[in-house]
Every structure is written in structure tokens, then in C-alpha cells.
Amino acid sequence: MAGESTSEVRVPPRWFVRTAWGLHRRLYRLTGGRLGLRRPRAGSWGMLRLTTSGRSTCREHSVILAYVEDGPNIVTLAMNGWSDGDPAWWLNLQAHPDATVDLVDGDRLVRARAAHGHERDRLWARWREVEPHLDAYAALRSTETVLVVLEPRYEPTHRE
């Protein structure tokens, strides 16, 4: 909320956040994707699995992220657990913007980009609807939190 101070929000210690991320990915893997993802609902964000290509190795890396929908696009926050620095998945997407997301209702090919200007303002307000402490969490970081837009990408079909 505007004017909310960072003393009004608490982020768990980094070791706890990293452990929770690892457990969430393991739950997804062990259940074959049956658990760990969810669609966004009124007043709540969803959970997706994003698979990127490593910026130097081009090896696949997957993370589970919160998201909201904006028409056909998916919007997530490059927040790094509200710590400073960009998360590795966002650095990967900057080098290789084509990726895959796994959603409850199936996989989707996407192309990533950062939101800017009026679009960023509009999407930040959308996130604020589902995360009332968004501004206070973002204030914990020394740099602006990037809003990442994942746009549908369609592979051309080959006819033989």
C-alpha cells in the first residue's frame, strides 16, 4: 500500500526462502506436475513452472513462480525473493527470451520481455490487487522490481 513502511512487512531468512523454493520444485517433480501449480483466482495469484535456457550453458533451468494474467499474457515479478539482484531465471530470459511455462491446463511457449512505462504502471496496479503489501516488499530492494511479461509464442507448423 502506498505509504506502507518496510518495517510492516517481514521476509523470511534467505536460507528458508531457498529451501522452500527447492521443496516446491521437488513436490512438483515427485508428483509428475499434479501438485505445485494453480490458476489465479479472484484476489489471488497463480503458480506456474517456467523453464528457461541458461545464458551461458543453454541448459534448461526450471523455477516455480507466482503470476497474474493480462489477457493472453502472463505477468510475473523478477523479485529474487525480495532480495537485491536479479533472479537467475530473469538473467537467462534476457539472454534467451524464448521459454516454456507449465500451467495447470498445459504447457505454453512464451517470449519474455520487461514491461515499461504505462504498461508497467498498469501491471503493477494489477499485482497490487492480489498482493496488498507489494510496495512495501519492493521497497526492501535497492533497485526497481522488473515486471516480466510472458507473451504467447507460436511455432510455425511444417507441412510435408
Residue 1 belongs to some domain of the structure: no
Q: Which residues pair with 111 in a beta bridge?
A: 98, 151
pLDDT of residue 30: 72
* 159 is a domain residue: no
- Which positions ≥6 away from 106 have C-beta within 8 Å? none
Is 64 among the domain residues? yes
- Structure confidence at residue 1 (pLDDT): 41
Q: What is the CATH number of the domain that holds 49?
A: 2.30.110.10
Number of structural domains, the chain? 1
Residue 78 lies in a domain: yes
With a cut of 70, which residues of the chain have pLDDT below it? 1-7, 12-17, 19, 21, 24, 35, 156-160
Residue 157 lies in a domain: no
- The predicted pLDDT at position 159 comes to 59
Q: Is the whole model's pTM more than 0.85, yes or no?
A: no
| Phi, psi dihedral angles at 12 (to 5 degrees) | -60, 160
For residues 87 and 50, the answer to whether their CB atoms sit within 8 Å is: no
Which residue range forms the structural domain that includes residue 147?
A: 6-152
- Tell me the three cell numbers of residue 131: 498482493
Residue 158 belongs to some domain of the structure = no
The C-alpha cell at 135 is: 510496495
* 37 assigned to some structural domain: yes
On whether residue 160 sits in a domain, the answer given is no
Q: Is the distance from CB of 111 to CB of 98 less than 8 angstroms?
A: yes
User: Rounded distance, CA 25 to CA 35, Å?
Assistant: 10
